[in-house]
Amino acid sequence: MASPDVGDILEKSRELDRLRKEQEEVLTEINKMHKKLQATPEVVEKPGDNSLSKLKSLYIQAKELSENEVTVSNLLLNQLDAFLPSGPPGQQRRRIEGNDQKRKRMKNDSDISRPSHPRSQLEAWANLKGEQVAARVTDGDKDEWFVVKVTHFDRETREFEVLDEEPGDDEEGGVQRKYKLPMSCIIPFPKRNDSSSVPEFPPGRHVLAVYPGTTALYKATVVNTPRKRKSDEYLLEFDDDEEDGALPQRNVPLHKVVAWPEDRH
């Protein structure tokens, strides 16, 4: 789909202004009718009076203008989105930053719910081969989380070999990269086909979630839960995702949301 030019956006903006001015004019007429009927309600009983018919016509017109405004607003938003990069403003893959004093060190062997038997535990990790997981890659004192595919688990070293299948624009040449990571840097996602066993994070809880349209994970706050919404999506507000002075609320599938790392132990 070709990106719209600025002229298209400006044209939609002018159309939106026109619709709003027409709505104001219709609302003014509706208010006049309301005052007339409140002052002289007996007028509707007079033969040939069409006050109520006129009021109904004005309400229908206001409804149509309102619906058109919604349609044009959505088109305008889609056109603006075409000019904006995916993910929180400023970076395709924003790094989650924190200093050593604030960042808790995650335990090497307790990042997933595991059976108590060591052999069963290793089996659980080994069974992640071929699965997508959240992976933490550290660069100096900065962490970056993104979705990778597990290609191998070494039982002796307890290290994962993973593949970054969709490197961001910041990766040189956009080439797929491989990493060797300890278990402490891996968080499995909930199973798509077993949502009943997935823990639900309550409103206000910090989580780590895949930002819509990207393979990167960022810190977010739960606004509403799948159970309350009767869907399979969380409603989240991502940190540093501010638009016009407010944090937009975004839908994220429950199988792309995991516990905030510092809450996992």
The CATH number assigned to the domain holding 150 equals 2.30.30
Task: Kindly report the average pLDDT of the chain as a whole number.
Answer: 78
pLDDT, tens only, 151-201: 999 988 989 999 988 765 555 556 788 999 999 899 999 887 776 667 789
- Same domain? For 242 and 224 the reply is yes
- Same domain? For 28 and 66 the reply is yes
- Same domain? For 54 and 110 the reply is no
Of 164, 188, 212, the residue at which a domain comes to its end is 188
> CA angle at residue 216 from 211 to 219, to 5 degrees?
65
Q: pLDDT class for 81, splitting at 50, 70, 90? A: low
CA distance 220 to 210: 9
Q: Which two tokens stand for residue 220?
A: 């977010």
**Is residue 91 situated within a structural domain?**
no
List the single range of 2-6, 51-55, 155-159, 188-192 with lowest mean pLDDT.
Answer: 2-6
Q: pLDDT class for 112, splitting at 50, 70, 90? A: very low
Q: What pLDDT was estimated at residue 111? A: 41
CA distance 146 to 7: 36
Percent of the chain with pLDDT over 90: 26
Q: What is the pTM of this model?
A: 0.54
Average pLDDT on 78-106 reads 47
Structural domain tally of the chain?
Answer: 3
CA distance 71 to 88: 25
- Same domain? For 105 and 179 the reply is yes
Q: pLDDT class for 257, splitting at 50, 70, 90? A: very high
Q: Is the model's pLDDT at 263 over the cut of 90?
A: no
- Same domain? For 100 and 171 the reply is yes
Q: What pLDDT was estimated at residue 97? A: 39
SS (H, E, C) the chain: CCCCCHHHHHHHHHHHHHHHHHHHHHHHHHHHHHHHHHHCHHHHHCCCCCHHHHHHHHHHHHHHHHHHHHHHHHHHHHHHHHHCCCCCCCCCCCCEECCCCCCCCCCCCCCCCCCCCHHHHHHHHHCCCCCEEEEEEEECCEEEEEEEEEEEEECCCCEEEEEECCCCCCCHHHCCEEEEEEHHHEEECCCCCCHHHCCCCCCCCEEEEECCCCCEEEEEEEEECHHHHCCCEEEEEECCCCECCECCEEEEEHHHEEECHHHCC
List the single range of 59-68, 104-113, 122-131, 198-207 with lowest mean pLDDT.
Answer: 104-113
List the single range of 17-21, 99-103, 162-166, 250-254 with lowest mean pLDDT.
Answer: 99-103
**Is residue 201 situated within a structural domain?**
yes
Q: Is the model's pLDDT at 237 over the cut of 90?
A: yes
- Same domain? For 73 and 140 the reply is no
- Same domain? For 109 and 182 the reply is yes
> CA angle at residue 104 from 101 to 108, to 5 degrees?
140
Q: What pLDDT was estimated at residue 149? A: 94
- Same domain? For 205 and 184 the reply is no
- Domain range for residue 259? 195-263
Say which residue, 105 or 170, is predicted with more confidence.
170
**CB-based contact 220:212 (threshold 8 Å):** no
Q: Which two tokens stand for residue 92?
A: 């395709």
Of 26, 61, 83, the residue at which a domain comes to its end is 83
- Same domain? For 67 and 117 the reply is no
Q: What pLDDT was estimated at residue 2? A: 47
Q: What pLDDT was estimated at residue 117? A: 43
Q: Which two tokens stand for residue 83?
A: 């000019």
Q: Is the model's pLDDT at 13 over the cut of 80?
A: yes
**Is residue 226 situated within a structural domain?**
yes
- Cα→Cα distances 1→79, 81, 82, 132, Å: 11, 13, 10, 29
Q: What pLDDT was estimated at residue 43? A: 76
What residues form DSSP beta bridges with 206? Answer: 221
> CA angle at residue 205 from 232 to 138, to 5 degrees?
95
**Is residue 54 situated within a structural domain?**
yes
**Is residue 90 situated within a structural domain?**
no
- Same domain? For 54 and 117 the reply is no
> CA angle at residue 152 from 148 to 158, to 5 degrees?
100
Q: Is the model's pLDDT at 108 over the cut of 80?
A: no
Q: Is the model's pLDDT at 203 over the cut of 60?
A: yes
**Is residue 27 situated within a structural domain?**
yes
